[in-house]
Copies of this chain bind each other. A is one copy, B any other.
Amino acid sequence: MSPESTTSAPGFAEIRTRVRYAETDQMGVVYHANYLVWMEMARTELCRVRGFRYRDIERDDQLRLAVAEVSCRYRAPARYDDEIVAKAWVAHAHPRMVTFAYEIRHELTGEVFATGETRHIMIDFNGRPVKIPPKYFSLFGLAP
């Protein structure tokens, strides 16, 4: 049984989590950097849905999907104890760059808290960019 309930389809993945007290700031809303963490959780889940555990990519192939760029637009503030859904999908991909897109919304009301994108390159453990190996093409929706 998965620790977070998830919904998935070939095209996207969703994770559900509850806002932690630690994630709030003194305005009584979620501190803005934490949305990037939820995006990362949804991105990990998308890998899993498509048959890859991100931890295995790092461990077995000594590769990492490094974040080259992130953007996030905040539309409404999430609050402590809110049940949120973070959804991820591949927006664009080619063998040297992958862009994921995200939507974070309230589980119950559907209100959208934030949308965002992250751009990634694959690097080896020395930090050098590499072409994405063909075994991962299906993960990113690249043509074989």
Binding site for B on A (CB under 8 A): 1-5, 16-18, 20-22, 24-29, 31-34, 36-37, 40-41, 44, 53-55, 58, 64, 66-74, 77, 79-81, 83-85, 107, 127
In the assembled complex, the Cα of A22 lies from the Cα of B26 at a distance in Å of 9
Tell me the smallest distance from the CB of A139 to a CB of chain B, in Å. 16
Q: 11 new A-B pairs (CB below 8 Å) besides A20-B41, A71-B72?
A: A1-B107, A3-B4, A3-B17, A4-B4, A18-B41, A21-B44, A36-B36, A55-B79, A67-B74, A69-B71, A69-B74
Asked if A40 meets B22 with Cβ closer than 8 Å, knowing A2-B83, A32-B67, A33-B33, the reply is yes
